[in-house]
């Protein structure tokens, strides 16, 4: 028999241009679901659950919520928190105290692991819940799902930025290195490759972390293209290093998951190009955080899918599904057709999907046709909510839910 009670959603990990669309999709679907009584947003994901910092999303102005669908980044706050056993216990206590029977966690592979751990704990307790992970990552490194919401919009921004940078680069005839997000997975960088349609189009070279090339090959590649086209635009992942070298990892700092904070590839490769004497001056740009929030370049496909996975999560939870993550299943590339599916949380938790070697070209300095077919449908679409002036979005009123428990011990 299906459960009855309140629902709760959390946003986790790096924001994207479309995660609010997922939240809005879940809330709007839940309004029509009889078993869902209230729908809470946990401020800063799991941290908000632990602190009982919950806001009632059913009480938000429906027009504001509808407009938030196009607002980038996490409207109820995100978090990076690797939970300990005591956190999981506390989360379950809060769920019970707040009569929360449905929990949705919108994040990447770390967050799907968190989701699975809570689900396991709930199963072994007397508090029955439906717990559903919802995919979200600009890195596109979640396994099983064809791709993840957030990726298409980040890819569209990055690919457009490379095209615009190419115009700028041509003006002076300088080589130009563009650094794209991606520590381990080069999906976002590879996506910029679709901008090269005719011979000589930018990006001329694309380098991903999965397949390091030697410093010698890199210099040779750039010199060849620069000589041939009078310009050379390089797209490189933040996690790219030369085969056998590690020098682009310039920061010793790590995030709360122990991941290295990388940086400096654009400047580093640019220096290599200048030092090799290929050009007196090489320009470089690090696309940075705008990749996950420059919503004027959002992909229409991505926005639709992000909304759809949110709806799907609410509908499936209300039917009793649990311990699963919503997936996107691609049916065809052109015309592009897809539908939502599910996979077990354990199949995706803590896994990383890398760019397959065979989706790159032979020299691993550009993309192949399979990558092109994969990416193209995901970066289509016009700009949403384009204001004549600057972007403005409604703010959530944040109707706080009364806390039922004494504060927990410090949780970080």
CB under 8 A: which stretch of 119-127, 215-223, 344-352, 386-394 binds a copy of itself? 386-394
Alpha carbon 153 to chain centroid, angstroms: 9
Q: Could you tell me the smallest distance in angstroms from the CB atom of residue 139 to a copy of itself?
A: 15
According to the binding rule CB under 8 A, does residue 168 interact with a copy of itself?
Answer: yes
**Nearest CB to a copy of itself, comparing residues 201 and 216:** 201
Cα(18)–Cα(176) distance, integer angstroms: 29
- Note if the bond before 270 is cis, omega within 30 degrees: no
Candidates 5, 8, 10, 11; binder of a copy of itself (CB under 8 A) is 11
**Residue 194 sits in the site that holds a copy of itself (CB under 8 A):** yes
**Toward a copy of itself, which CB reaches closer, 170 or 321?**
170
For residue 181, give the DSSP letter: -
Q: How far is the CB of 101 from a copy of itself (least distance, A)?
A: 27
CA dihedral over 62, 64, 66, 69, signed as positive or negative: negative
> What secondary structure does DSSP assign to 208-240, as a single string?
-TTS---HHHHHHHHHHHHHHHS-EEEEEETT-
Residues 6+ apart with CB under 8 A from 264: 248, 249, 250, 251
Using the contact rule CB under 8 A, the part of the chain among 66-74, 114-122, 139-147, 314-322 near a copy of itself is 66-74
Q: Does 22 bind a copy of itself (CB under 8 A)?
A: no
The distance of closest approach from Cβ of residue 401 to a copy of itself in the complex, given in angstroms and rounded to an integer, is: 19
CB neighbour burial string for 254-288, b if at least 16 within 10 angstroms, e if fewer: eeeeeeeebbbbbbbbbebbeebebbeebbbbbbe
Whether 126 sits among the annotated catalytic residues: the reply is: no
Q: Which is nearer to a copy of itself, 237 or 301 (CB)?
A: 301
Query: Maximum Cα–Cα distance for the chain, whole Å?
Result: 71
53, 110, 139, 141: which one is catalytic?
A: 139
Q: Does 161 bind a copy of itself (CB under 8 A)?
A: yes
SS3 134: strand
| Residues catalogued as catalytic | 139
Binding residues (CB under 8 A) for a copy of itself: these are: 11, 15, 44, 71-74, 77-80, 156, 159-161, 163-165, 167-168, 170-173, 176, 194-195, 197, 283-290, 292-297, 300, 376, 379-383, 386, 388-393
């Amino acid at each position: 028999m299906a459960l009855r009670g309140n629902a709760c959603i959390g946003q986790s990990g790096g924001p994207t241009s479309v995660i609010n669309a997922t939240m809005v999709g879940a809330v709007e679907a839940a309004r029509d679901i009889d078993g869902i009584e209230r729908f809470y947003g946990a401020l800063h994901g799991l941290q908000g659950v632990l602190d009982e910092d919950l806001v009632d999303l059913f009480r938000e102005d429906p027009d504001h919520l509808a407009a938030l669908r196009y607002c980038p980044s996490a409207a109820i706050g995100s978090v990076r928190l690797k939970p300990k056993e005591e956190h999981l216990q506390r989360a379950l206590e809060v769920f019970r105290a707040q009569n929360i029977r449905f929990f949705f966690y919108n994040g990447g592979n770390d967050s799907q692991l968190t989701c699975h751990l809570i689900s396991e704990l709930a199963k072994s307790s007397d508090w029955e819940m439906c717990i559903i992970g919802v995919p979200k990552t600009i890195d596109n490194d979640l396994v099983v799902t064809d791709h993840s919401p957030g990726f298409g919009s980040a890819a569209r921004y990055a690919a457009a930025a490379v095209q615009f940078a190419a115009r700028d680069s041509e003006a002076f005839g300088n080589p130009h290195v563009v650094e794209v997000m991606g520590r381990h997975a080069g999906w976002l960088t590879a996506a910029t490759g679709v901008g090269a349609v005719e011979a000589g189009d930018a990006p001329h070279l694309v380098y991903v972390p999965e397949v390091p090339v030697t410093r010698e090959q890199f210099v040779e590649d750039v010199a060849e293209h620069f000589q041939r086209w009078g310009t050379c635009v390089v797209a490189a992942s933040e996690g790219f290093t030369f085969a056998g070298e590690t020098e682009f990892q310039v920061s010793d700092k790590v995030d709360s998951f122990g991941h290295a904070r990388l940086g400096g590839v654009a400047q580093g490769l640019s220096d290599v190009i200048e030092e090799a004497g290929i050009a007196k001056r090489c320009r470089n740009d690090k696309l940075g955080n705008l990749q996950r929030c420059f919503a004027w370049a959002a992909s229409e496909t991505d926005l639709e899918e992000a909304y759809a996975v949110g709806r799907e999560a609410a509908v499936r939870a209300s039917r009793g599904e649990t311990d699963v993550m919503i997936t996107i299943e691609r049916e065809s590339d052109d015309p592009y057709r897809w539908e939502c599916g599910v996979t077990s949380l354990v199949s995706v938790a803590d896994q990383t999907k890398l760019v397959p070697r065979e989706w790159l070209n032979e020299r691993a300095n550009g993309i192949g046709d399979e990558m092109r077919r994969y990416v193209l449908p995901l970066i289509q679409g016009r700009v949403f909510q384009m204001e004549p002036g600057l972007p403005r979005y409604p703010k959530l009123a944040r109707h706080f839910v009364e806390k039922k428990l004494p504060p927990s011990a410090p949780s970080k």
